[in-house]
Structure 1
C-alpha cells in the first residue's frame, strides 16, 4: 500500500513542478516514482526512502543541469522593460537638446536628450539608448 503513497507524492511534486518550471521538483518526482516501484516489490519503508533519496540526488546532479542547459539554449531571449526601448520610434513633444526635452514613447512621456543637433518639436525620433531616466534620441 505504500507504493500508492509514493505515487501520490510523485503526482503532487509533478504539479508543483508545473508551477515552478525549475526541474527540481521533477527530479524529486522521479525519485518518488522509483520509490513507488520499489514499494511494489517490498514493504520495507527504509529501503523505499533510501531509493527515493539516492534516485533524487542522482537526478538532481545529472539530469537537471542537462535539462536546464537544453531549455536555456532553446529559449529565445526576449527584451523587457527598459531593455526593449532602444530602437523604438517616438515623437518629440518639446524641442530636444543636449540639455533635455520631452518625447512620447510607447504612450508615456519621457525626458529625453540628444547628442546630435537639437531636434525640433513634433519630429519623429528613434531611441538609441536609455540613460537613467532619460531617453537618448536621434532624428529618424
Structure 2
C-alpha cells in the first residue's frame, strides 16, 4: 500500500486512460475533459503535491476544461456548414456521365469516380448513355439526375 501512495501519479494516469477509453465509447467530450483533470492531478502528484491538493487540481482543471474547451470542440464537430460538402450532400449539383440509359426507374451514371444507380425525376425524358448530367439530389443510394440546365 505504501508503494501506491508513493506512486499516486500512476493511479491518476491510469484513471485518465480509463476515462479516455470511456470517451471513445460515448464521444460526448465529457470524459476526455475529466481525463485531462486526472492528468493534471497526476502531474501534481509527480511534483509532490499532497493527495488533497491533487483532488482539488483534478476537479478544478476538469471543470475548466468542461466549461471552456468542451463547447469549442462540440461546436467544431457539430458544425453543419463545415460538413455540408461531405457525404451525399456534397454530390448534389455535381456533374456525372451516364453509363446506361437513365429512366424514371433505373439507370447508371459515373459520379465522383464511382458507378451509381440513377433515375430522372418523374415526367422527364430518358437520358441516353454518354450524356453529361447534373445531380439534382441523392435519394438513398440513387442519384436523381437531369440533362436540363439547373435554374
Equivalenced residues, count? 133
Q: Structure 2: which 5+ residue stretches go unaligned?
A: 1-5
TM norm structure 2:
0.59
Name the TM-score, length of structure 1 as normaliser.
0.62
| 1:105 is aligned to 2:110 | yes
Unmatched 5+ stretches in structure 1: none
Aligned to 2:44: 37
Structure 2 counterparts to residues 43-82 of structure 1, below 5 A: 45=51, 47-48=52-53, 50-69=55-74, 71-72=76-77, 76-77=82-83, 79-82=85-88
Equivalent residue of 2:118, what SS? strand
Stretches of 4+ moved more than 6 A in 1?
Answer: none
The two structures, once aligned, show a CA RMSD in angstroms of: 3.8
Matched with 2:136 is 128
Instruction: Determine helix, strand or coil for the equivalent of 1:105.
Output: strand
Q: In the superposition, relative to structure 1, how do residues 7 and 102 fare at CA in structure 2: closer, same or farther (>3 Å)?
A: same
